[in-house]
Amino acid sequence: MRYKVFVTLLMILVVATVGVVAQDEAIPYIGVGETVSGEITNGTIQYNVTATAGQLLIIDVVAEGFEPTMEVDSVSSGREVAFTFGTETAAAVYFVAPEDGDYTIKVQDFIDPVTGSYTLRVREGGTLTVGEEVSGDIDNAAAAYKFTASAGSLIAVRAVLEGMDGRVVITDLDGTELKSASTSYSSSEAVAEYLVAADGEYVVAADIRPFSDSRMGTYTLSLSEISTTPISYDTPLDVEVSGTDRVYLS
């Protein structure tokens, strides 16, 4: 009797293990720099992508027939590393991989399971240094860059976003938003300023605001460090300003 019970448990364990392997193998892989297209038939699109710790990835999807949301989870920990509601026909996320390994990309409709077609793309983000300016196109996606800053420095990111309802965002490597600024009806410029709390790497991104009707446009990003004037407590300060001048004190 004990032998039969042991054999039965062993068979269940083997079947369960095979089932897990089969489930993992059922999710196809997409490489960094690749683009894939297909049909959504079961309500959810899933792909795995392999990343190294510290790698900045940008993932975007263009959908036909449904309004996409996108989620990215770490396969090893199950932790969600990125999520967005997207626009009516597209969604884009960017994140810094917290560890070496695979990450599962999940795309589905905002409300209900549907059928439709999609084009999914994975790219690697860039790097930006103080005094540098970069530009490019945002086609249903986002542009993201890593930069290094020292504690106590005042960083300003200026973005000129043409042809879209856009924003510029500064985050830490965990994706926590530190500062953001958006364009307006009267200006295509957005400036985000951040007083750096700790030495290290940060991320700046330009993207299309969630639920926006915008789909594409151009961006120009520049990173600068603002000099501040030290002052003492209870000491009068005489400064002349005009127009849109800013005064920074530390």
Helix (H, G, I), strand (E, B) or coil at 37: strand
Please check the confidence at residue 35 and state whether its pLDDT lies above 70.
yes
Q: Rounded CA gap, 240 and 27, in Å? A: 62
Q: How confident is the model at residue 249 (pLDDT cuts 50, 70, 90)?
A: low
Q: pLDDT tens, 86-120? A: 778 889 999 999 999 999 999 998 877 678 899 99
Residue-range domains of the chain with CATH: 28-124 (2.60.120.380), 126-226 (2.60.120.380)
This prediction's pTM: 0.81
Mean per-residue pLDDT for 141-157?
Answer: 95
Positive or negative CA dihedral for 178, 184, 186, 188?
positive
Which of 5-14, 80-89, 126-135, 150-159 is predicted with the least confidence, judged by mean pLDDT?
A: 5-14
Q: What is the pLDDT of residue 87?
A: 77
pLDDT at 246: 62
CA torsion, ordered 201, 204, 209, 210, to nearest 10 deg: -20
Binned at pLDDT 50, 70 and 90, residue 73 comes out as very high
How much is the pLDDT for 32? 98
Q: Mean pLDDT for the chain?
A: 84
Q: Which amino acid is at 95?
A: F
Q: Positive or negative CA dihedral for 60, 65, 68, 72?
A: negative
| pLDDT level of residue 245 (50, 70, 90 thresholds) | low
Confidence (pLDDT) at 41: 78
